Amino acid sequence: MNEPEAIATIAPFDVQKVRNDFPILNQKVHEQPLVYLDNAASSQKPKAVIEALEKYYTAQHSNVHRGVHYLSSRATESFENVRGKAQRLINAKHAHEIIFTRGTTEAVNLVASSFGKKFISEGDEVLISEMEHHSNIVPWQIVCEDKGAKLKVIPVNDAGELIFEAFEKLLSEKTKIVAVNHVSNTLGTINPVKKIIEKAHEFNVPVLLDAAQAVPHMKTDVQDLNADFYCFSSHKMYGPTGIGILYGKEKWLEEMPPYQGGGEMIETVTFEKTTYNDLPYKFEAGTPNIADVIAFGAAIDYLDSIGYEDISAYEKELLEYATEQLLNINGLRIIGTAENKASVISFLMDEIHPYDIGTILDQLGIAVRTGHHCTEPLMNRFGISGTVRASFAFYNTKEEVDVLVKGLLKAKEMLS
Amino acid sequence: MITINEIQDEIIDEFSFFDDWMGKYEHIIEQGKELAPLAKSYYVDENLVKGCVSQVWLHSSMEDGSVKFEADSDAIITKGLVAMVIRVLSGHPPEEIFNANLYFVDEVGLREHLSPNRSNGLVAMIKKMKTYAVGFSVKQEN
């Protein structure tokens, strides 16, 4: 006979119970119940995160690391605990490989700037892909312009998948770093990053993954992936805005020069010469975003309490249902039909402009994103100016998919 | 001649007949469809008002002391809004255009379309219309 615990673990995922954890979902927009399908831009926050923020400012706030008094040492302990939580979340080898940044964008900029300073010179090449977010294009463009290096681009096929053979051809002894996303924010494509890393490492080229759209949806193991840099944002994974993580392998972070100068990142300062603090502090100049780090810890705990297994399984079910239902709409075509996808669907309907669709859906209480999603080169690749994007979180329901479909039919009727 | 504010009041009056959002948006879409087509030669970069999501082409000229605006947009709702702004501002002397206060947008409940985050190119278009008006008026004085 089964043990009672075993039965508990196979209890079905209860989406209604989960929805109660997110107060913001329970409201009306334009007199209609809110249907929030803009999770890839930013997800909503559970009570646990909101309460952690309030509790911190109400009872725990103090500056971290340098204080001898009670509040400061408590704040330091809570702050550093979150570094440990982030480490465990992605299975990093060391806690000091976790650097707190403002978000994925700052994490990529840190690596582009600091790694670029030390390791990229004239004639070198940086390899990115055609499906990158502007945040994983522009920082590399800046460093390439500065150093006289060249930006090379891995092309994407019609389904929205990276063309692996093209990637292999682009890799050479000139390549200094490969920077690609783990999951595409526009198409939802889950890229074969382990294979990409393996191949790049054959050339001793490190790989940076923009994982902003991966960590909210799936369990990650940076050691198993053998990723050199892994960047993600708290606000897309149910935590506060303004905080993100740069994971970097110790050997790279040790060799890279500091990104910004200031307090915290120094060992000793004289006017003649400053020596720098150890990892991770070398890359954390100034007073950090303590409150949001601590609340981010609450978001990680919350994700843990639900479990990635349930999250991934439920979101997959939602994605399949939504894909099927959307394709029932005459004239609707999905941009990004990769075999391996996260719960993101970009689409166009007839010749109707995404802005018009988004505006009508908004009137019906449905929040989607419209436009180029900060991936203009990818839009050019598909010969379109933008898409409508519905992105799902584990608190979305099949009923909400039905509301979306009904809304699209209404938009079609009004706009055709 | 009918003034800018009289046209705005006319639009507010038209919208007062709709008691739900759908009627309102259908009316906007209708005006977009009825907007006079823009000559092919006017779809040039200098006439492009780029929004993040939708974009607008705006051409202006001076006829008998009044500024004439012609425009188009790739999104029909934006185009409807553009048609309304043109209806209000086109055909008036430059100083009236740059002094105009477009209160009708608020009154008919379309304020959200003029928020800068909307990125539909409309705010930039109105700014450009006023800039043209100032330009034409300076030319006139010279």
Backbone φ/ψ region at B39: left (φ over 0), alpha (ψ -120 to 50), beta: beta
Beta bridge partners of A203: none
Q: Which residues of A touch B25 (CB under 8 A)?
A: 359-360, 363, 414
The count of domains in chain A is 2
The pLDDT assigned to B124 comes to: 83
Q: Does B48 touch chain A (CB under 8 A)?
A: no
Which domain range does residue A132 map to?
A: 50-304
Q: Please return the burial class of A58, using the count of CB atoms within 10 Å of its CB with bins 0-12, 13-18 and 19+.
A: exposed
Contact B22 A363 (CB under 8 A): yes
* A76 and A195 together in one domain: yes
Share of chain B above pLDDT 90, in %: 66
Contact B26 A414 (CB under 8 A): yes
Low-confidence ranges of chain A (pLDDT < 50): 1-9
* A280 and A188 together in one domain: yes
Chain A residues 367-406 with CB within 8 Å of chain B = 370-372, 385-386
* ipTM associated with this complex: 0.90
3-state secondary structure of B69: strand
* A277 and A374 together in one domain: no
The count of domains in chain B is 1
Greatest mean pLDDT range, A263-272, B45-54, B67-76:
B67-76
The CATH number for B103's domain is: 3.90.1010.10
Contact A354 B76 (CB under 8 A): no
Contact B22 A386 (CB under 8 A): no
Rounded average pLDDT over B16-39: 94
| Model confidence band, residue B110 (pLDDT cutoffs 50, 70, 90) | confident
The pLDDT assigned to A303 comes to: 97
* A125 and A196 together in one domain: yes
> How far out from the chain centre does Cα A280 lie?
21
Contact B53 A414 (CB under 8 A): no
Q: Does A415 touch chain B (CB under 8 A)?
A: yes
Q: Is A374 a catalytic residue?
A: yes
Contact, A227 vs A221, CB < 8 A?
no
The CATH number for A35's domain is: 3.90.1150.10
Which domain range does residue B55 map to?
A: 4-141
* A65 and A167 together in one domain: yes
Nearest residue, CB atoms, A371 vs list B26, B52, B77: B52
The pLDDT assigned to A10 comes to: 52
- Tell me which of B27, B53, B117 to substitute to probe the interface with A (most A C-beta atoms closer than 10 Å): B53
For residue A280, cis peptide bond before it (omega within 30 degrees of 0): yes
* A251 and A346 together in one domain: no
Q: Does B78 touch chain A (CB under 8 A)?
A: yes
The pLDDT assigned to B126 comes to: 87
pLDDT tens-digit series, residues B113-122: 766 665 667 7
The pLDDT assigned to A8 comes to: 46
Rounded average pLDDT over B91-109: 92
Q: Which of B52, B61, B115, B138 is catalytic?
A: B52
* A59 and A203 together in one domain: yes
Q: Of the candidates B81, B83, B75, which has an alpha carbon nearest to the alpha carbon of residue B54?
A: B75
